[in-house]
Amino acid sequence: MEQNRWMSLLGLANRARKTVSGEELVIREVRRGRTKLVILARDASENTRKKVTDKCTYYKVPVRFVPDRSLLGQAIGKDERVVVAVMEAGFAGKLSEMLDESQWG
């Protein structure tokens, strides 16, 4: 049940064009200071996880985790996605809250 709420909200953010996905695009947006939240799949490779979390730490962007890449992709209506950046503060705040409350956030 909880899971569907964050997925619906992320889908909404995506339809509002407030997200980017894919490692390179996410890192570029983090560097530009446009990213309010990064959502990373727990099954991301060690290399990807390190690269993304290091970059987010440096630029002070919060990171939240979701169980796996297929859920993350499904939430934004795409194939598997390992990382998604949320570019709008309202969506980011609410998603952050929901993922904090979840058992795996």
**Quick one: DSSP state of residue 78?**
S
CATH number for the domain that contains residue 40? 3.30.1330.30
Q: Show the tokens assigned to 50.
A: 């390190």
Q: Which residue has the tokens 């809250």?
A: 97
Q: How many domains does the chain have?
A: 1
* Residue span of the structural domain in which 14 resides: 2-101
Number of other residues whose CB lies within 10 A of the CB of residue 96? 19
Contact 8, 71 (CB under 8 A): no
Mean pLDDT confidence for 94-99: 95
Amino acid at the residue 47: N
Q: Show the tokens assigned to 33.
A: 């200071």
In sequence order, the β-bridge partners of residue 45 are none
Each residue's pLDDT tens digit, 71-93:
999 999 999 999 999 999 999 99
Q: Show the tokens assigned to 32.
A: 């530009």
Each residue's pLDDT tens digit, 1-60:
466 899 999 999 999 999 999 999 999 999 999 999 999 999 999 999 999 999 999 999
pLDDT at 102: 77
